């Protein structure tokens, strides 16, 4: 399995010379499995380059079905979707997958149709070109393409979901962003991440910033480290960087994280991990 970060910024994309090292695109991550299947997590602005990279590999792709799984549907996690070039290619089938059992109560197609109304975008969803379908998770655990997947709801305004993949080779990957733990660490998140090989965790704030941003739905880097320690994870990647945190700020934050948890680093646009 290969994990590639295409967008690791939170809330809003940034474009500035002081934000180059860690990247300025909002959340989007590509999971490439050994059997040729793909899963894209979220469709922030990073999905634009992700789509271009996939099209450049189109002739060699064994499978032209792409699954886009959403942790939730806040703007910074869907805003890149209209610029996802495979969505305009009739050779691709795209499954928009809503993680979380409660989501089946929502009209997910309308979320994407709305953001692509003529008032906001020139091309409607139905005219993009690819074959679309919408899927809903019916249980907290399922087997997807032979892989065990577990999903839990965590605290975030409007709700959001964390998920874990346990792979055939015994490796495990946990993705947990846009989470607010509250006064104590959420024990369900710790249980989900237990002994994971890779944990990707929200770390938008410092502990001091978090004191004045309660209710905004995010974690501090200190909390991310605490989850990793409590869950005995092997490697921690911090994501959803605040749009006001430039490269120097994040480099300092990364050094502090590594002092507490040596196997940790800031996720950055273009970084890949092999499991």
What's the pLDDT score for residue 36? 87
**pLDDT tens, residue by residue, 29-53:** 999 998 888 999 999 999 999 999 9
Alpha helices in the chain (DSSP H): 47-56, 108-115, 187-192, 207-211, 221-231, 247-260
Q: What is the mean pLDDT of residues 85-109?
A: 82
Mean pLDDT, the chain, whole residue set: 92
Q: What is the pLDDT of residues 208-257, one digit of tens each?
A: 999 888 888 899 999 999 999 999 999 999 999 999 999 999 999 999 99
Tell me the pTM: 0.93
CATH superfamily for domain 2-274: Ribonuclease Z/Hydroxyacylglutathione hydrolase-like (3.60.15.10)
The DSSP code for 26 is B
Residues 6+ apart with CB under 8 A from 216: 157, 180
Going from N- to C-terminal start, the domains of the chain cover: 2-274
């Amino acid at each position: 399995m290969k994990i590639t970060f295409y967008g690791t910024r939170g809330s809003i994309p940034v474009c500035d010379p002081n934000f180059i090292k860690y990247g300025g695109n909002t959340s989007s991550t590509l999971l490439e499995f050994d059997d040729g299947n793909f899963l894209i997590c979220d469709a922030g602005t990073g999905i634009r380059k992700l789509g271009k990279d996939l099209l450049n590999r189109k002739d060699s792709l064994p499978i032209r079905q792409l699954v886009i799984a959403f942790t939730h549907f806040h703007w910074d996690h869907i805003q890149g979707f209209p610029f996802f070039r495979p969505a305009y290619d009739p050779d691709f089938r795209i499954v928009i997958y809503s993680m979380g059992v409660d989501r089946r109560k929502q009209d997910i197609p309308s979320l994407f149709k709305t953001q692509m109304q003529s008032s906001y975008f020139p091309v409607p969803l139905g005219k993009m070109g690819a074959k679309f379908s919408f899927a809903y998770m019916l249980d907290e655990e399922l087997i997807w393409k032979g892989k065990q997947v577990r999903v839990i709801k965590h605290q975030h305004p409007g709700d959001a979901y964390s998920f874990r993949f346990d792979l055939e080779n015994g490796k495990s990957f946990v993705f947990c962003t846009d989470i607010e733990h509250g006064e104590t660490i959420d024990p369900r998140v710790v249980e989900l991440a237990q002994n994971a090989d890779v944990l990707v965790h929200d770390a938008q704030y410092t502990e001091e910033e978090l004191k004045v941003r309660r209710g905004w739905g995010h974690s501090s880097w200190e909390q991310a480290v605490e989850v990793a320690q409590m869950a005995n994870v092997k490697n921690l990647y911090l994501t959803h960087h605040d749009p006001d945190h430039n490269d120097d700020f994040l480099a300092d934050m990364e050094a502090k994280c590594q002092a507490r948890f040596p196997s940790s680093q800031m996720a950055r646009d273009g970084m890949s991990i092999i499991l």
